[in-house]
A and B are shown apart, each in its own frame.
Chain A
Amino acid sequence: MTTKEYESYYVPAQSKWPIVGAIALFLIAVGAANYVSNLNNPENAGGGWVLLAGIALIIYMMFGWFNNVITESMSGKYSHQMDNSFRQGMSWFIFSEVMFFAAFFGALLYARTFSVPWLDGAGNNAATAVILWPEFTATWPLIKTPDGTETTAMGWYGLPLINTILLLTSSITAHFAHVSLEQNKRGLLKFWLGLTVVLGVVFLFCQGLEYSHGYADEMKLYLDSGIYGNTFYLLTGFHGMHVTLGTIMLLVMLIRVFKGHFTPKNHFAFQAASWYWHFVDVVWVILFVFVYII
C-alpha cells in the first residue's frame, strides 16, 4: 500500500447517531425485559410499547447513520484503506454471528449425544433412569419427553426441502448479481438481485407456513415441547430472523442499485449484504442436516 492511502484515512467528525443508537438499544432492552416479565399479566405489559419505540428509533438511526456513510462514500472521502476496514469489520461481525449459532448447535448436539441418552441410563447413568423416569426411552427426535409431553417430529421433505432449494438458489443468484455488478451490467444486476430478494421472501413465507403446520393440532410441535421443540424453534427462528434481516439488507441494496449507486470497483455495502446472505445460507445447510435430516 502506498503512503497516499494512509494520508486520506477519513476520520468522521462528531456524529449524533451512536448516542441515538444507544438510547434505542436501551429502550429495546427495557421494553423487552418488561414485556417478557409480564407475559402472564398483560395489563401490566406497557413494555411492548417501549420495545416498539426502541425499534422505531433504531430504524431511524440506521437511516441516518447509513445516509451519512453513503453520502461520504459517494463524495469520494473513502480510501482503499477505509474500504478494507469496513470489509474486515463485516467479516468479523459475521464470525461473531457464527459463534452465536454455535451455542445453539452446541445445545442441540449436547442434548442428542449426552443428556437424552443419559436420562435413559446410558453411560454410568443407570440409577438416574431408574430413579427419575423409569418409563422414559431415549429417541431422537425426542417425541416424548421424560415428563410425558408428546409431540411430532418435523420431516425433512416437503417444505424444508423446498426451503433448502430456495435458499441455495438465492445464494447463486446473489453471486450472479455480484458478478453482473463487477462487469457493470446494470440490467442483469437488477434482475438477479431482485430475484434474490423474491427468493428470500418466499423462503420466509414457507417458514411461516411450516410453523403453522407445527402449531396445528395434528403435530403439536410447540416451542415448549421439550428439547426437540426448543432447539427446532430457536434454531430455525433465529435463522429466520437473520433471513429477514438479510432480505431487508438486499432490498435496500436493490433500491440503491435503482438509484444508480455502486460502481464495479466500489460497492462495499452490496458486498457486505451479499456476504451476510451467503452466511445465512450456510447456516441453513447445517441446520437442515442436523435439525431435519439426521
Chain B
Amino acid sequence: MTTDVINDQSEHDPHDGEHHDHKMTGMKRWLYTTNHKDIGSMYLWFSFIMFLTGGMMALVIRAELFQPGLQILEPDFFNQMTTVHGLIMVFGAIMPAFTGLANWMLPMMVGAPDMALPRLNNWSFWILPFAFAILLSSFFMESGAPNFGWTFYAPLSTTYSNGSTAFFVFAVHIMGISSIMGAINIVVTIMNMRAPGMTYMKMPLFVWTFFITAYLLIAVMPVLAGVVTMVLTDTYFGTSFFDAAGGGDPVMFQHIFWFFGHPEVYIMILPAFGIVSTTIPAFSRKPLFGYSSMVYATASIAFLSFIVWAHHMFTTGMPLFGELFFMYCTMLIAVPTGVKVFNWAATMWRGSLSFETPMLFSIAFVILFTIGGFSGLMLAMTPVDFQYHDTYFVVAHFHYVLVTGSLFSIFAGAYYWLPKWTGHMYNDTLSKWHFWCSLISVNLLFFPMHFLGLAGMPRRIPDYALQFADFNKWVSIGGFAFGISQLIFLALVIKCIRGGEKAPMKPWDGAEGLEWTVPSPAPYHTFTTPPKID
C-alpha cells in the first residue's frame, strides 16, 4: 500500500485551524474531548492503571501461595482476589488497551479524520472508570468483593453469593455498554470512513483484526448482559434460571456464560494478531506473507469461536455427542491459527531482520503464544481435559495466551507507535531491560504452573499439598519479578512523553502504512482531507 499524499494539514488546510484546533486546557480537555487521539490515550492510561491494580492482586495471591498453609489471607479474601484479578485483567486491562490502540491508530490507518461517532466514543470511555469504581468499591462493603471467580458460576454467584453481587452485576452491565458502543464505533469507522481507494483487501491487517473483533463484541457482550441479568434476578427476585428446584439448571449458566466467554477469548487475542502482523513485516523489511490467508484465517477463527464454547465444560456433564462435537470443533481452530504462525515465520524467513524492542516482543509473542496454543490443544481433548480441568495447567495455558500473548503484543504495539504518539524515541536501554526482565520472569512465573497442574494442583485454592512447595516458590518469585519489571515500562513511558531524542516521521525504515505519512507526534487532527490510496 502506498500513498501519494504527504499529509500535513496544520499548514495546508486553513479550514482545520479555524474550526478544530482549539484544544481546551486542563481537565475539561479530557472530559469533553471528541478527539480519537485523546480518547485513545485515556484508554491506554486507564488500562495501564488497571493492569497495575490487577497485578497487585495477583501478587497478593502469589504471596499467599509462596508457601503451603494459610499465611496472610483468609480463604474468602483469597477468593475475592482471584475473582477481581480476573475481572480487572480481562475487562479493565486487556480490552481497554486494545480499544485504546484502535482509537489511536484506526482513523490514521484508514485515512479518516476521526472515529465515525466521536461523542459516542468519549462516552464509551468515560463510563469505564465508573464501572471499575463500582466493582472496586465492593471491597469496602461489609460483605466484601465478589468471591465466585471471574466466571461467576451459578450457584456460587446466586444462592451462595455475598451481599455485593448486585454491584458486580451493574458494573458488568456498564462495562458491556462501553464495549458495545466502542465496537460499533470501530465497525462504522472501518466500513464508512476509509479513504477513497482503500478497498477492504487493501486495509492493513491491524484494521482487519479489529474489524472482526468488533463484530465479536457486538455479538456476545449482550449475551453477557443477559446472563448477569439472570444472575441478578435469581439472587434478588426469586427466579430459578439456574436452580433445578424451579425447573432451571446451573449448567445452563455455564452454557450461556461460555457462549459469551469463548468469543471473548478471541476478542482478547485477534487484535494481538493484528499488532504482530504489523510489527513483524516492519522489522523483517518484507511485506506480510500471505495477507489474504491471514484475513481468512482471522475470520475463520472468529466463526469457530461461536461453536466451541462447551469445551470449557467437559467435566460439567453433557451428552457424549456434545463432547465429541465441541472437541473436534476446538481442535479445528488450530488450523487457521497454525496458518497465522506459519505466515509470521514465513514473513521473517530471509528477511533482513533487526531486533528493536517492538520486534523482540513480537518474536516472544509468536513463540510463547504458540506454547499457549499447544497447551490449549491438549486441553481440547475431552478425556485429557478430565485430568487437567481446574488445575494449574489451565492457569498456565490461559496466562501464556493472555500475558505472553495479548499483553506482549500490546507492549510490541506500544513500543512501535510510542514515537508517533509522543514525538520522542523511547529510551532503548530501558526498553531492553523491560523486555528481558519481563521475558525471563514471565516464564519463571508461568512455565512451572504446567508441571504443577499436571501433578494435580487445583486452581483457586489458597493452600496446597507439600509436594508443590518448590515450584510454587519459584512461581511466586517470578510473579514479583514480573510485576516489578513493569515499573520499568511505566518509567520509560513517562520519560518518553517528557522528552528524548526527536522522532522522525517514520522511525522504522521497514514500516508501512498511512500513520507514518504524518509528522511525529501526530498532529491533533490528521486526514481532515482523506489521502488518496493507489
- Residues of A bordering B, CB below 8 Å: 1, 3, 6-7, 9, 11-19, 21-23, 25-26, 28-30, 32-34, 36-37, 39, 65, 81, 84-86, 88-89, 92-93, 95-100, 102-104, 106-107, 110-111, 114-116, 118-119, 123-124, 132-133, 142, 145-147, 149, 223-224, 226-230, 234
Contact = CB atoms under 8 A, between A and B. Distances in A.
Interface residues of B, number: 83
Contacts of A229: 239
B166 A146 contact: no
A285 B123 CA distance: 33
B130 A230 contact: no
A26 B252 contact: no
A102 B249 contact: no
Given A14-B24, A100-B225, A224-B240, A85 B116 contact: yes
13 contacts: A3-B530, A11-B118, A17-B119, A22-B123, A30-B167, A85-B192, A89-B184, A92-B184, A98-B222, A99-B223, A111-B252, A119-B244, A223-B237
B238 A224 contact: yes
A149 B244 CA distance: 12
A115 to B, nearest CB: 4
B255 A110 contact: yes
Nearest to A116: B247
Contact of A145 (B123, B240, B256): B240
B232 to A, nearest CB: 7
B498 interface: no
Given A22-B123, A96-B184, A97-B222, 12 more contacts: A6-B195, A11-B525, A14-B29, A15-B34, A26-B174, A33-B170, A81-B193, A89-B185, A96-B219, A99-B220, A100-B223, A103-B226
Contacts of B112: 9
Contact of B127 (A25, A34, A93): A25
A6 B530 contact: yes
B223 A103 contact: yes
Interface centre among A25, A223, A224 (most CB of B within 10 A): A25
A100 B229 CA distance: 10
Contacts of A37: 163-167, 236
B113 interface: yes
A85 B188 contact: yes
Nearest to B129: A22
Given A15-B122, A29-B173, A88 B245 contact: no
B440 interface: no
A101 to B, nearest CB: 8
Interface in B226-273: 226-227, 229-230, 232-233, 236-241, 244-249, 251-252, 255-256, 259
Given A11-B525, A14-B34, A30-B134, A145 B222 contact: no
B512 interface: no
Given A99-B220, A110-B249, A118-B249, A25 B525 contact: no
Contacts of A32: 166, 170
A29 B169 CA distance: 9
B218 interface: yes
A100 B529 CA distance: 38
Nearest to A110: B252
A183 B134 CA distance: 50
A18 B119 contact: yes
Contacts of A118: 249
A93 B20 CA distance: 29
**Which of A12, A18, A23 has the most B CB atoms < 10 Å from its CB?**
A18
B223 A102 contact: yes
Interface string B159-196: 00001111101110110010010011101100111011
B19 interface: yes
A15 B256 CA distance: 38
Given A12-B119, A85-B117, A223-B238, A92 B188 contact: yes
Contacts of B28: 14
B133 interface: yes
B386 interface: no
Contacts of A6: 195-196, 529-530
A115 B219 CA distance: 25
Nearest to B232: A36
Interface in B350-381: none
B120 interface: yes
B246 A226 contact: yes
A88 B215 CA distance: 13
A224 B169 CA distance: 19
B319 interface: yes
A110 B322 CA distance: 14
Output the residue of B122, B171, B218, B229 with the most chain A CB within 10 A. B122
